[in-house]
Amino acid sequence: MTGRQTRPRREKRVPKPLDKPRLEELALGYVARFATSSRKLEDYLKRKLRERGWEGEDQPPVAATVARYVDLGYIDDAAYAKAKSGGLLRRGYGPRRVSQALGAAGIAEDIREDLKAGEAAQRSAALALARKRRFGPFAAEPVERDKREKQIAAMLRAGHGFDIVRQVMNAESASEAEQWAAEAQDEDDL
């Protein structure tokens, strides 16, 4: 025989079906590792049940487990939404994309409305995206029309409104764009 000898393959280990203590263990491990919403935890537990099955005669207590973790304070949808929306805005996403991300995480509409970004935050987010991607006044050199249109489309896909995108893209310089964003901050401070 030349070269390597092949070992017989190990059979894939089939995980045990879940019971109440294992379901609790999975839920606790998940909330310990990740900031999460109640819906994301519920989806996670349901996925694990589909993968592994349930070893009980009664129905798995997914909703009760999630409700208990909310009552204990391990899960706080409002705090999760505030942290998530702040992070997305700092990364340059607009209010529409932030709302979509929160909706996908199962955050209620009233919480999303309470956290809706103000004018200053929207302008700052648009500037952050333009700066990061070197759009408009942050480009190293002037861009051709077709590339400019692609940059505008990228900002719109990121969730920014057309008026804000237009203001950023039409700024003559980076300092002019930053001044425009600062004006909204000054108005919010009043």
pLDDT in tens, 65-110: 999 999 999 999 999 999 999 999 999 999 999 999 999 999 999 9
Q: Whole-angstrom Cα distance, residue 74 to residue 53? A: 25
C-alpha torsion sign, points 117, 118, 119, 125: negative
Q: Whole-angstrom Cα distance, residue 117 to residue 119? A: 7
Q: Whole-angstrom Cα distance, residue 48 to residue 23? A: 9
pLDDT in tens, 134-155: 999 999 888 899 999 999 999 9
Q: Whole-angstrom Cα distance, residue 78 to residue 110? A: 10
